[in-house]
Amino acid sequence: MTRVEIDGVERAYGAVKVLKGIHLDIEPGEFVVLLGPSGCGKSTLLASIAGLDPVQGGEIRFDGRDVARDEPSDREIGMVFQSYALYPTMTVRKNMSFALRVAGMAKPEIDERVNWAAGVLQIEPLLERKPAALSGGQRQRVAIGRALVRKAKVFLFDEPLSNLDAKLRGEMRAEIKALHEKLQTTFIYVTHDQIEAMTLATRIAVMSGGEIQQFGTPDEIYRFPQTRFVADFIGAPSMNFVDAVLRVEGGRASLEMGQVRVELDDYAFAAPPRDGQPVIFGTRPERITLQGDPSPGAIPARVTGVEPMGADTLVWLDTDGHRWSARVSPEEANALGREVHARPDPQGISLFEPESERRL
Amino acid sequence: MKDQNAIAMAAIYAFLAIAAAFFAIPLIIMLLTSFKTAEEVREGSIFFLPESWSLAAWGKAWGEACIGRVCEGIGGNFWNSVLITVLATSISLLLASLNGFALAQWRLRMSGPILGMLLIGAFIPYQIMIYPLVRLFATGGMHQTLGAIVTVHVLFGLPILTLIFRNFYIGLPEELIKAARVDGAGFFQIYGMIIVPMSVNVFLVAAILSITGVWNDYLLGLIFAGPNFQPMTVSLQNLVGTQMGLPEYNVNMAATILTALPPLAVYLLSGKYFVRGVTAGAVKG
């Protein structure tokens, strides 16, 4: 169990700043997922934690010890790569024992550790095979085993499931989660897949443009996105947005969108709202109910498409030029005409400041 | 249709057979002549089989043929060539693979310019460097020694061999090296335990290229090897080119085949890799 503190880490390739002073405080035993679109700096950050990519500023502390300038091997980390990166000429056993052999460990202890790791990952029958004779899932297991035998303080995963097919990905995801619960070691995991992030993480760090947009539990990230980027990036389809104006009358806040008024009695404002303040209103597809007749607080919309997904149905809407989506039950979807009214759930509203795009 | 195909195939095979014969005839005549006696050769019937197969010319070429006043054949020089080839090839393979690995996978600041210089090195005709090298070795007191000839072969072999290794190593996944670094391996451990076992094929290709190049060399051997380590090619030229009295064609032929045998054997034993080695040299040199 190791606390990982990332304190102002900077990395630039020439004029391009890939990491702009990252701060991240990871509790011992946490499972932190670095999530973001490609090019957001998440893999660079992971490589910096591993020591494979030199940082140009800031500190990386493992249990208070600054390791930012240490060699990867001096950091007591284990790392799993997207391409598995198994040594092709070595058997599974040799692959897993490589680090221990390099460190000059005694043979009985090497065997003991390899057998233990193989038992944890259930790959004992594969120990004498070469990587070429393994399936994708088995290779991934060996790659994890290679990190396991070292009894690393911190486990790093760089998009480990991207090369697997959908079914196997689901299985391996569950296994990695079970492994974390078993080992109670600090895990740092990079992915661009939000399902992986939501299901695995104790906390997610959403990154964009070399900065951390938000660091919080999956629930916080999903329900209370702190920036418009996070709101837009998390969730499929993404959050619906529209420009609106705040009204404050007699201490009660409400939202004005053209003719429509939405009451904001339950919204937890970060700062006191001002009357006439422009805002970006956001609501998730599953927080919208569709109805045929107009009612106060419902936004008139035209149905442009219907996508049955099985468990629910996605209805695409045109609300005065904005493309929205609503997730409704198949029965509700069948009852809809062309003209509908979309009523946002007051509990599921996010408001953003148009300039800074930060949550209000 | 079927008949036409058969005729076309027959024509193709006939052409291939003629082409093969065309290239094989000199070798066949050499072989035939080497098995004849001196008298039979003088009769001039070069296309006929020997009347009595005789190994006398081979024995003479190996151990008794006279070069100037010394009558020891070219057998001794065979071992000189072996020594030079083995030393030069193993040293250049080791250095070239290390260089290639460092250039391809170890992020070196100057790897671009170094690669450019290597390319230039592979293209410059080595003849223009002979005089400076002679002066250099003479100044260092090692002109015409085993060290000199091996060094020269290594120097001239390195650019092209390094490029071959570098081009192979550039295709290895970067994550492999990263994983090994996380596992605590240093440069030479990664090289020795992971990279070398993966590159057996490239080593074979490079070895073939180097062996044939060093063995077949004449000019460098003539200039740098000196009398004690004179390679087989040089002594062959001395044998064939300076003869007292009547030329002994059967002995010359036998000596030539003896000299050409090692590269020929390498070629026959490793045809697939040999072709790769030749094309690697052709495309990248």
Spatial distance between the Cα atoms of A107 and B196, rounded to a whole number of angstroms: 24
At A170-179, the pLDDT tens digits run: 889 999 999 9
On the question of pLDDT at B85 being above 60, the answer is yes
Percentage of chain B exceeding pLDDT 70: 94
Can you list the pairs that A300-308 forms with residues at least 24 positions away whose Cβ atoms lie under 8 Å?
Answer: A300/A260, A300/A339, A300/A340, A300/A341, A301/A339, A301/A340, A301/A341, A301/A342, A302/A338, A302/A339, A302/A340, A303/A336, A303/A337, A303/A338, A303/A339, A303/A340, A306/A333, A306/A336, A308/A333
Percentage of chain A exceeding pLDDT 70: 100
Percentage of chain B exceeding pLDDT 90: 40
Confidence of residue B90 (pLDDT cuts 50, 70, 90): very high
Pick from A153-157, A205-209, A346-350, B135-139: least confident: A346-350
On the question of pLDDT at B2 being above 70, the answer is no
Confidence of residue B53 (pLDDT cuts 50, 70, 90): confident
* Predicted local confidence at residue B284, as pLDDT: 35
* Predicted local confidence at residue A205, as pLDDT: 96
On the question of pLDDT at A107 being above 70, the answer is yes
Contact A150 B183 (CB under 8 A): yes
Confidence of residue A234 (pLDDT cuts 50, 70, 90): very high
On the question of pLDDT at A24 being above 60, the answer is yes
* Predicted local confidence at residue B281, as pLDDT: 44
Contact A79 B197 (CB under 8 A): no
- CB-closest option in A83, A88, A98 to B183: A98
Contact A79 B182 (CB under 8 A): yes
* Predicted local confidence at residue A79, as pLDDT: 93
Averaged over A241-267, what is the pLDDT?
86
Averaged over A337-350, what is the pLDDT?
89
Contacts of B185 in chain A (CB under 8 A): 73, 98-99, 102
Averaged over A186-205, what is the pLDDT?
94
On the question of pLDDT at B282 being above 50, the answer is no
Only one residue has tokens 């996605």, namely A314
Averaged over A238-263, what is the pLDDT?
87
Contacts of B181 in chain A (CB under 8 A): 52, 71-73
Question: Which of A48, A52, A146 to substitute to test the interface with B, most B CBs within 10 Å?
Answer: A52
Contact A73 B184 (CB under 8 A): yes
Contact status of B135 with chain A (Cβ, < 8 Å): no
* Predicted local confidence at residue B285, as pLDDT: 31
Averaged over A276-288, what is the pLDDT?
91
Averaged over A265-274, what is the pLDDT?
83
* Predicted local confidence at residue B244, as pLDDT: 66
> Does residue A50 contact residue A73 with C-beta atoms inside 8 Å?
no
Could you give the ipTM of this predicted complex?
A: 0.83
Domains A4-225 and A240-352 share a fold: no
Contact status of B3 with chain A (Cβ, < 8 Å): no
Pick from A85-99, B207-221, B244-258: least confident: B244-258
* Predicted local confidence at residue B192, as pLDDT: 93
On the question of pLDDT at B8 being above 60, the answer is yes
Arithmetic mean of pLDDT over chain B: 86
- Nearest-CA residue of chain B relative to A81? B175
The class that CATH gives domain A4-225 is alpha beta
Pick from B25-29, B72-76, B174-178: least confident: B72-76
At B93-152, the pLDDT tens digits run: 999 999 999 998 887 778 888 888 888 888 888 888 899 999 999 998 888 889 999 999
Contact B197 A89 (CB under 8 A): yes
End-to-end CA distance of chain B: 46
On the question of pLDDT at B1 being above 70, the answer is no
Question: Which of B175, B176, B183 to substitute to test the interface with A, most A CBs within 10 Å?
Answer: B183
Q: Which of B63, B251, B71, B220 is nearest to B155 (CA)?
A: B220
Q: What does A276-313 look like in DSSP terms, one character per residue?
A: T-EEEEEE-GGGEEEESS--TT-EEEEEEEEEE-SSSE
* Predicted local confidence at residue B275, as pLDDT: 67
* Predicted local confidence at residue A250, as pLDDT: 80
Averaged over B89-94, what is the pLDDT?
96
Contacts of A78 in chain B (CB under 8 A): 182
Contact status of B204 with chain A (Cβ, < 8 Å): no
Task: Find the chain A residues whose C-beta atoms sit closer than 8 A to any C-beta of B.
Answer: 47, 50, 52, 71-73, 77-79, 81-83, 85-90, 98-99, 102-103, 146, 150
On the question of pLDDT at B280 being above 60, the answer is no
Averaged over B177-199, what is the pLDDT?
91
* Predicted local confidence at residue A346, as pLDDT: 85
Percentage of chain A exceeding pLDDT 90: 60
The class that CATH gives domain B77-282 is mainly alpha
Q: Which of A355, A356, A324, A351 is nearest to A340 (CA)?
A: A324
On the question of pLDDT at A277 being above 50, the answer is yes
Domain ranges of chain B: 2-63, 77-282
Domain ranges of chain A: 4-225, 240-352
At A46-82, the pLDDT tens digits run: 999 999 988 998 999 999 999 988 988 889 899 999 8
Contacts of A155 in chain B (CB under 8 A): none
Minimal CA separation from B207 to chain A, in Å? 21
What CATH architecture applies to the domain A240-352?
Beta Barrel (2.40)
Averaged over A116-137, what is the pLDDT?
91
Averaged over A105-121, what is the pLDDT?
93
> Does residue B168 contact residue B202 with C-beta atoms inside 8 Å?
yes
Averaged over A18-36, what is the pLDDT?
94
Count of CB atoms situated within 10 Å of the CB of A265: 8
The most distant pair of C-alpha atoms in chain A lies apart, rounded to whole Å, by 78
* Predicted local confidence at residue B283, as pLDDT: 40
* Predicted local confidence at residue B220, as pLDDT: 92
Averaged over B170-196, what is the pLDDT?
91
* Predicted local confidence at residue A308, as pLDDT: 92
Contacts of A261 (CB under 8 A, 6+ apart): A247, A254, A255, A296, A297
Q: Do strands A288-291 and A299-308 pair parallel, antiparallel, or not at all (unpaired)?
A: unpaired
User: What is the CB-side half-sphere exposure of residue B22 using CA atoms within 13 A?
Assistant: 6
On the question of pLDDT at B70 being above 90, the answer is no
Averaged over A306-318, what is the pLDDT?
91
On the question of pLDDT at B4 being above 70, the answer is yes
Listed in sequence order, the DSSP H helices in B37-193 are: 38-42, 56-63, 75-105, 111-123, 130-140, 146-169, 174-182, 187-190
In total, the C-beta contacts within 8 angstroms joining chain A to chain B are 60
Single-letter amino acid, residue B205:
V
Pick from A258-262, A285-289, B87-91, B251-255: least confident: A258-262
* Predicted local confidence at residue B38, as pLDDT: 81
Contact status of B70 with chain A (Cβ, < 8 Å): no
